[in-house]
Amino acid sequence: MLNEIIRKRLEDIGHKLEDLERELAEPAAASDPSRLSSLMKERSSISEVTELYRQYLETERSASEAREILETESDPELKGLAKEEMESSSERLLDLEQKIKILLLPSDPNDDRNVVMEIRAGTGGEEAALFASDLYRMYSRYIERKGWSSELTELEDTGVGGIKNVSFLIKGKGAYSVLKYESGVHRVQRVPETESQGRIHTSAATVAVMPEAEPVDVTIDEKDIRIDVMRASGNGGQCVNTTDSAVRLTHYPTGIVIYSQTEKSQIQNKEKAFALLRTKLYALETQKARDRESADRKSQVGSGDRSEKIRTYNFPQGRVTDHRIHLTVYRIDDVMNGELESLLDPVRLADQARRLLEFDQ
């Protein structure tokens, strides 16, 4: 049952919705598109929980009426119907209570943002670089399945199919809310194509998922930046530019270095480099805030800690294991082809369940 604190909060939300409805009905709101959009967005964010609470109160009244019939009526048929109504209402109340609590959980302000994902080869030499390339392909296919879009920001390959590091922007509604749990170490166990003995090797790649930062989120002092321009590197042919189009940014306070050469235009590469730098600086500040809020955040699902081993891809056994929630799926080919729902959804639900436990304490 919903306690009095939650009920009071829901009543306040209901009053807020009424105020928003009145403001939206005023001519002044329609004449200001920016204000109108803000009001409609705010109304949308609270209307669902208000409707669920209305349903909860109605169901609670039905249960109360059924209970009164059970206690006062002697007719067996009426008592039987009342008992059925009580059981049905009780189940409905539990379901509504769960949904309401989920909607009342503090939301991550970054959930609706686009994502910058960074994949880096870790331990394992060329095999790690090949695995990083496989992860990039896996996420690219998932992005296609979701109907999202991606834009390459930074790429350093090995020249033989592997990737040392790659950064790319993922544009899609709620992209960060879906992918934020992917940060961490991804480990692979398989026989390398170049291994004649058929021995299983273990390699790793790190994945970082960062909410895309807007220019207003981060202020970058020009004195803190060194900008170098140079010719793009590559493996020959069209991959090598004949002009100084590549851009490298060095941020002195943090030591972050961004190298962008994916575009033929120096201006475009510079824009991409600054956008990636803003995102990395924003991610640093976000992580600091999380650490301040919870000292044990790193031991929890969705910590965003890129040093934490989160998943193992075992090719000989055809399995993928998520170590945070002790989940194993035997569909490695599907996973590598971008069918990630069997892994992403359980992790999200596990984090949600943890937060609900904290909510009730």
123 to 128, 279, 353: CA distances (angstroms)? 6, 26, 34
| Angstrom distance (rounded) from CA 276 to CA 153 | 8
- Report whether 166 contacts 292 (CB < 8 A): no
pLDDT tops 60 at residue 44: yes
Helices (H), 294-326: none
Distance CA 261, CA 360 (A): 50
318 or 5, greater pLDDT: 318
Give residue-wise pLDDT tens across range 98-139.
899 888 888 788 898 999 999 999 988 899 999 999 999 999
Pairing of strands 309-314, 256-260: unpaired
Is the pLDDT assigned to residue 155 strictly greater than 50?
yes
Higher pLDDT, 215 or 87: 87
Q: Encoding tokens for residue 11?
A: 């009543």
Tokens of 284: 């640093």
Two tokens, residue 113: 């943002």
Cα distance between residue 289 and residue 245, in whole Å: 37
Amino acid at 279: T
Question: At residue 174, what is the residue type?
Answer: G
Q: By percentage, how much of the chain surpasses pLDDT 90?
A: 58
**How far is 103 from 47, CA to CA, in rounded Å?**
11
Beta strands in the chain (DSSP E): 115-121, 149-157, 163-171, 184-190, 201-211, 225-230, 246-251, 256-260, 309-314, 319-322, 327-329
Tokens representing 177 are 């809310």
Query: Sheet containing 225-230: which strands, arranged edge to edge?
Result: 225-230, 246-251, 256-260
Neighbours of 20 (CB within 10 A): 18
Verdict on whether the full-model pTM lies above 0.85: no
In CATH terms, are 4-104 and 115-354 the same topology?
no
Q: Classify residue 76 by its DSSP letter.
A: H
Which stretch of DSSP H or E encloses residue 226? strand 225-230
Backbone angles phi, psi at 182, to 5 degrees: -85, -10
Q: Which CATH class is domain 115-354?
A: alpha beta
Residue type, 293: E
Average pLDDT over residues 327-344: 96
pLDDT for 142: 97
Residue 296 confidence (pLDDT): 44
8 Å CB contact between 276 and 165: no
Query: What is the mean predicted confidence (pLDDT) over 169-188?
Result: 94
SS3 339: coil
Handedness of CA 259, 262, 266, 269 (dihedral sign): negative
Q: Looking at residue 242, what is its pLDDT?
A: 54
Nearest to 342 by CA among 115, 87, 142: 142
Which one-letter DSSP state was computed for residue 235?
S
Average pLDDT over residues 18-36: 88
What residue segments make up the domains of the chain, in order of their start? 4-104, 115-354
The CATH number given to 4-104 is 1.20.58
Type and span of the H or E element at 259: strand 256-260
Q: In angstroms, what CA-CA distances link 358 with 94, 191, 352, 354?
A: 18, 43, 10, 7
Instruction: Classify residue 164 by burial, with Cβ atoms within 10 Å: 0-12, 13-18, 19+.
Output: middle
Highest mean pLDDT among 110-114, 301-305, 330-334: 330-334
